[in-house]
Amino acid sequence: MWTEKYRPRTLDEIVDQEEIVSRLKSFVKAKNVPHCIFAGPPGTGKTTAALCLAHDLYGENYREYVMELNASDERGINVIRETVKTFARSRPIGEVSFKLLILDEADNMTDDAQQALRRTMERYTETARFILIANYSSKIIEPIQSRCAPFRFTPLPRDAIIRRIEYICEKEHVSILNDGIEAILDLSEGDLRKTLNILQTAASVGKPINAEIVYSVVGKANPYSVRDMIFTALNGDFISARSKLRELLQKYGLSGMDIVRQIHSEIFKLDIPDKWKVKLADITGEIDYRLVQGANEEIQLSALLAKFIEVGYEIKKVS
Amino acid sequence: MSFRATYIPWTQKYRPKSLLEVVGNDEAKRKILEWIQTWEKGIPEKRAILIYGPPGIGKTSTIEALANDLNMELIISDASTYRTEEAVKRTAGRASQAGSIFGKKKIIVFDEVDGVSGTADTGGLREIIDVIKNTRVPVVLIANDAWDPRLASLRNLCELIEFKRLSVHDVARYLQKICLKEGISAEDKALKFIAERSSGDLRSAINDLQALAQGKTKLTYEDVAWLAPRDRKEQIFNVLRMIFYAKNSATAKSAVNMADVDLDMLFEWIYENAPYHIKNPLEFAAVMDMLAKADIYRGRINKTQNWAFLRYVIDLMTAGVAASWSKKTTGWIPFRFPERIRTASMKKEEKGLLEEIGRKIGKKCHISSARAVKEVLPYLRIILWNNPKMGREIAKWFDLNEEMLTYIAGEKLPSSAKF
């Protein structure tokens, strides 16, 4: 996968986020790292920066000194209590007197686990430093935030992404047209991982990459978008809308919560009277709350789709 | 048919005393016997077996018969007893360590393990796992659904043995044997009819036979044929029609008692079929609203374990639905089997596979398995379609096996992309 093949290995290889990189380099020089929070949108180099820091700090065999955990997969308190603690409490052999623990998607940790983590960070500071990676630092509890040096990653500038696309195309002997680059930028929303995934998929077609190819592969990767489902419902076809919902939930592994949030962000882009937008937002909020309370995803989202059917009908009646 | 305690159920009376009397599932029985015999030579690699399959086909009976044959003592815990950590430790835990130099050898049985409750039986499953890990006597687990996610960690410790539905022929023959002992002369056609109706569930077939034949000397096809309208499919259709088109709330609510399926299943039938019958958008939204609210009460029952809330689920899903629309439809609309149920069993296995794929991709790409499924997998699928060679290389690097590859590519997997 090109996302991995072209992932920078050292801090020097990271082309953007200059300020962050220079601060991290100063840690390497001092052979000391504080606990850190790397926050920012997806695909902006947070995990890469953490891995590069580890590489520069410990050398080629950095894996021996680093534990990488993904909080979405192992979000329970027991992982913190057992796995993390076992790793954190012994002192490594070598120049650097501590190990590095990279906790990805840390904003998905339960509150309990975060509380346990806070104690662990405190107790084993001598032997282990933590890098917490999150989209939103606000979802990390205050006591942890106050123990960490914050790093804010920003979406990569267009130029930087274009340079990256061109660099990879050259290396892979892939030709790409300007409208192809534009299309990728349009679809990837500043997320470099998404950019490279789209690029590689478009390249797999085996022709010079143009806008048409890009839109076609992305379209195939997401056959039923949430927006598509909403339009089907507004047009009054509940049964098709429900099939699309099932597809999203089952085949594409979206959670009910993902879908609710996406529906919400689509509502205000719709070409319907404001009165209805607000009404739909209200209902969406209610469904969101029900899902948080543990109601069944498909049933609740179906009820939401039925409301879209109702709105579509009312609007047609007026016009 | 319900009988009171004044008689012995034939299911008890004719429970097999020996393995030879247990019908069907020969392969499974052989495996169990072999496994029990390996204990003679010391503790085998798998200290437990998990017997699974639909109800009424002889899972528990097999173990009882076997214990009887081998003169072993059964220590059984089923869903009727509390299975908290404490309770399991007290009974099974102790028995699993007891020596057997004097007295009978033991088998520990956890029947209906998929019924161990998450809330009421706190720590029960964990303790069962502990018992298995340390046991010095054979442990047998019995469940309907071996793929219940809660049994995941148990499953790994057990040898899985599947029991399949019995054939009509096997069921009918067993019924014939009972008739002989009861002094009933029964027409083959009648017994075959009962057997067919049971869809391989011997227990329910014996119950039906007792209800129809006890006290008689003859059983004819006419005696049993009246059962036909109780055929499951028709029944559910009638119940649905009664709910959707009920003239008043009392009728709609009473339909629940007629249903041959459980309430969750009935809910799925109503939810699946509502959009085909209720075409007016405003009315349909109102009906969906009722179902969504019924679902909220189901959630509340789950959360509080207070089954008194069930009455609101019933109110909303029956009377609530019926009262929310004008019941005007044109033409006859057939009822459909709930899609969610059709795919449920497949989905569970599929889900496991998808998670495994996600984990493998996530590990290489430094993301969570959920994000791997959402953000990387769709692209890998397209790459496999467009460029099998590139796709295969990536899949290999992710350490995905052929089953996973076939799953990802779906129907469209070009043969050159197979390993």
Please report the sign of the dihedral spanned by the C-alpha atoms of residue A90, residue A94, residue A98, residue A100: negative
Residues 6+ positions from A273 with CB-CB distance below 8 Å: A315
Q: Is A54 on the interface with B (CB under 8 A)?
A: no
In this structure, what is the dihedral angle of CA atoms B65, B68, B69, B74, given to the nearest 10 degrees? 90
Distance CA B335, CA B243 (A): 13
C-beta separation of A77 from A110 below 8 A? yes
Distance CA B66, CA B150 (A): 28
Nearest alpha-carbon partner for A264 in A319, A206, A213, A307: A307
Can you give the pLDDT at residue B228?
55
Can you give the pLDDT at residue B213?
84
Of B275, B347, B394, the CB nearest to A239: B275
Contact: B368, A1; criterion CB under 8 Å: no
What value, to the nearest 5°, has the Cα angle with vertex B283 and ends B279 and B289? Answer: 115
Residues 6+ positions from B324 with CB-CB distance below 8 Å: B283, B286, B287, B289, B290
Q: Is A300 on the interface with B (CB under 8 A)?
A: yes
Q: Name the helix (H) or strand (E) containing B284.
A: helix B281-304
Chain B positions touching A193 (Cβ under 8 A) are 365, 375
Nearest alpha-carbon partner for B105 in B132, B138, B140, B64: B138
Strand partners for B75: B108
C-beta separation of B399 from B356 below 8 A? no
Strands A36-39 and A149-152: parallel
pTM above 0.80, yes or no: no
Nearest alpha-carbon partner for A99 in A54, A157, A144, A165: A54
Residue A45 DSSP symbol: S
In this structure, what token pair is assigned to residue A171?
A: 């290396």
The most confident of A106-115, A155-164, B101-110, by mean pLDDT = A155-164
What value, to the nearest 5°, has the Cα angle with vertex A288 and ends A286 and A294? Answer: 105
Contact: B288, A105; criterion CB under 8 Å: no
* Type of residue numbered B373: V
ipTM of the complex: 0.76
Can you give the pLDDT at residue B417?
40
Distance CA A16, CA A19 (A): 9
pLDDT in tens, chain B (419 residues): 444 344 678 888 899 999 999 999 999 999 999 999 998 888 888 899 999 988 889 999 999 999 999 998 888 887 666 667 777 777 777 777 766 555 678 899 988 887 776 655 667 788 888 889 888 899 999 998 888 777 888 888 999 999 998 999 999 999 999 999 999 999 998 999 889 888 888 988 888 888 788 878 889 887 787 665 444 444 788 889 889 998 889 889 888 877 777 788 899 999 999 999 999 999 999 999 999 999 999 999 888 888 889 999 999 999 999 999 998 776 677 788 887 776 665 566 777 888 899 999 998 999 988 889 888 888 898 898 888 888 999 999 999 988 888 888 875 444 444 33
In this structure, what token pair is assigned to residue A238?
A: 């509940």
In this structure, what token pair is assigned to residue B4?
A: 């009171």
The single residue listed with the structure tokens 């049994």 is B151
Q: Name the helix (H) or strand (E) containing B162.
A: strand B158-162
Distance CA A71, CA A105 (A): 5
Of A197, A246, A310, the CB nearest to B282: A310
Chain B positions touching A217 (Cβ under 8 A) are 379, 382, 386
Q: What burial class does residue B37 get, using C-beta atoms within 10 Å of its C-beta: 0-12 exposed, 13-18 middle, 19+ buried?
A: exposed
Of B295, B365, B382, the CB nearest to A3: B365
- Nearest-CA distance from B404 to chain A in Å? 14
* Type of residue numbered B92: A
